Chain A
Amino acid sequence: MFIFLGLLLFGLFYILKFQKFVLFIGLFFFALGLGILRYGIKDARETALEGQIGSKIVVSGTIIEEPDEKENYTRLILETDKAETKILLTGRRYPIFHYGDKVEVSGILRKPEKFSDFDWPAYLAKDDIYFEMIYPQTKLLQGKGGSRLRRQLFSIKEKFIDNLSKVIPEPDAGYLAGLTIGGKKAMSKDLQEEFRRTGIIHVVVLSGYNVTIIANVIMQALKGLPFFVGIGFGILGILFFALMAGASATVVRASIMAGFALLARATGRVYQITIALLVAGFLMILHNPKILRFDTSFQLSFLATLALIYFSPSVEKKLSFIPKKFHLREIAGATISTQIFVFPFLLYKMGMFSVVSLPVNLLVLFFVPITMFFGFLAGGLGFISGFLAVPFGWIAYAFSSYELWVVTLFSKLPFAAFNISIPFWLTLFIYIGYAVLLFKLNKDKKYALDKK
């Protein structure tokens, strides 16, 4: 994965015409070496808890992330008071804990173990979690710890979801919550599986993948206004998203990249934006080198952003048969280009290929902005009065039932998704192919410009 993303960056530099091949190879290995060094530093942290694996301990600490509610259990991330070590707690749904709660936990400390085919310890390690406790006894000591801003944001988010679910029945309410402020937790496992099978799970998982598309639409909708007002609103939209989603590291990264894609499309200054994107990617990896390997969301949003900046304009040109009205062509272009770009990666990482992904995305994504709009209105007006929220909730419900209908319909097709996994070398090979293709596409453009 390391080398693979490295190569991608590599390819990009190539596009930018630093064609000093030899210098490059040198740079590449230099960077690789530095990277490994940085990675090692990140990994070397030791903690006092290490000696207590397997024994029953009692610790107190603060819940430092929003609880991750699953169907039958809840995951909490605890930071211990003394050692400031993170422990993942898997516990029952009730009692409900909140971000910032100070709790006392007693249970058996364990090291995360690999599942059959999933590197669970590595996944946790990217967030610096090396310990876990399963069904510990958890006692609330005191509420209202942690950052005050985040606490309030989470409580607004919770209330927002509450407002939605008071006027709209499930599963639509959960879907709308995921769509508007991210967080698939309100959706049932079965429904999430349907979204995965149809390749559209990205609309409810907050990643640059969907934020970009949404922000784009905000800008398009405000096209009549002065240019910078449009961009301003687009960026505000992204900011709002990131904050509402809890501003976790993953979300912030995704949002920054989405912002770049937006700027690139709006200004047409692809060259400068690429450098900005690379610098941002570099800084993020410098900050936490583990994301390069283990944060699927980071990898996906990087790929999707690339696709939107470089590939989507070319794809759009080929789609001249689709009317421009209602941004149909743009949506189709963005969807097709990102799909093409992320699908080898998804095959490699998740081992699932959704055959119906394209039609489902086209059928659903077109209505997503308007669904979000009414979803926002319903959830937002719910703060003022539940009664006011009702009509907008019903409109949002009409759209969401259509979208869920499409998803369910396609997911029921026997050939909707295949479980095939491709080996790493093939993935690498495909992406090198993509890099060459992109290079050619963009070179053509340059020629065209030169001729003018």
Chain B
Amino acid sequence: MLWIKNNFKYLIVIILLGATVLVWYAVFAESRSGLTVAFLDVGQGDAIFIQAENGNQILLDGGPNKATLNQLSKVMPFYDRSIDMVIASHPDSDHISGLIEVLKRYKVYSAMEPGTKSDNVVYQEFENLVKEKNIQDIFAGRDMRVNLDNGLYLDILLPVVDPENLDPHAGMLVIRLVYGKNSFLLTGDMEKSLEGYLVFLEGHNLKTDVLKVGHHGSRTSTSEVLLGFSAPEYAVISVGKDNQYGHPHKETLDILNKFQIPILRTDESGMIKIKSDGEQIFIY
């Protein structure tokens, strides 16, 4: 106590200094422009962080473990402890385990999922948390649109039918993120048969700037017909180094090379951050 009294002057200076640093940090952290889409480096799994210019934040899938939390700290200011919406593309553990950790630590307002039922324990834990924390639970389906900002929205392309009794990969939530002239096709673990169906539904509407390659580059995804119709400028593969499945498969890389699409991989370059001003995309 005596010590505080004696050094009162210095304490005040330190506190004020701290406050100033904090304010300037916040000023920089809050001066955003355009859309940010970050493919987080979470190892073998998917996690995509989306932030609008107005500050709306979405986390699409959460990776296989806590690694997502470290990555989130790199794209969010330290005092920001909330995320507006988390989306589970499907209830497999390499996509939602990390979401559980996020739900436990961040204030999350709504959770979107395709509604595929799964009896795996990870999904049950996820559902319990959503209920326990009173998070708005949204079952998404085709023709739904989520408006995020001026000219920025998410379109749900799949699933078409209520997928309650479908296999998780067949009931996959497939999303198109549109900002002005730019768009991102976010496919989760979509497999070839579903890709064919999507092309049948959308045709040339599928044209996109960035394609998130389905199922971590597995040979069961990324058909020629999808690449032909979506004609992406970049393909992003979210995959862990030396994973046990051998992802990304050579066949997938070959076909992307054949279409001369530049490949961005999280196992090689870590987090892949893409920005858009509505006209053009920039890779960081």
Contacts and interface: CB of A to CB of B under 8 A. Distances in A.
Given A95-B125, A168-B78, A169-B78, A398 B18 contact: yes
Given A72-B65, A394-B79, A397-B78, A93 B97 contact: yes
Interface string B1-45: 010000000000000001000100000000000000000000000
A313 interface: no
Q: Give the contact-size bracket for chain B.
A: 20 to 34
Contact of A92 (B69, B73, B121): B121
A69 B22 CA distance: 34
Contacts of B73: 169-172
Interface stretch (A159-167, A252-260, A330-338): A159-167
B253 interface: no
Given A394-B22, A397-B78, A398-B18, A95 B69 contact: no
A321 interface: no
Nearest to B122: A94
B76 to A, nearest CB: 7
A395 B70 contact: no
Interface in A398-422: 398
* From A71, A92, A93, A168, residue with most partner B Cβ within 10 Å: A93
A390 B65 CA distance: 26
A170 B70 CA distance: 5
A397 B2 CA distance: 27
Interface residues of A, number: 24
DSSP class of B's interface residues: helix, strand, loop or mixed?
helix
A168 B22 CA distance: 15
Given A94-B97, A162-B104, A169 B69 contact: yes
Contacts of A72: 64-65
A92 B94 CA distance: 13
A400 to B, nearest CB: 10
Nearest to A72: B65
Nearest to B79: A394
CB-CB nearest 3 A-B residue pairs: A170-B69, A169-B73, A94-B121
14 contacts: A72-B65, A92-B121, A95-B125, A165-B104, A165-B105, A169-B72, A169-B76, A170-B72, A171-B73, A172-B73, A173-B105, A188-B67, A394-B22, A397-B78
Interface of B: 2, 18, 22, 64-67, 69-70, 72-73, 76, 78-79, 81, 97, 100, 104-105, 121-122, 124-125
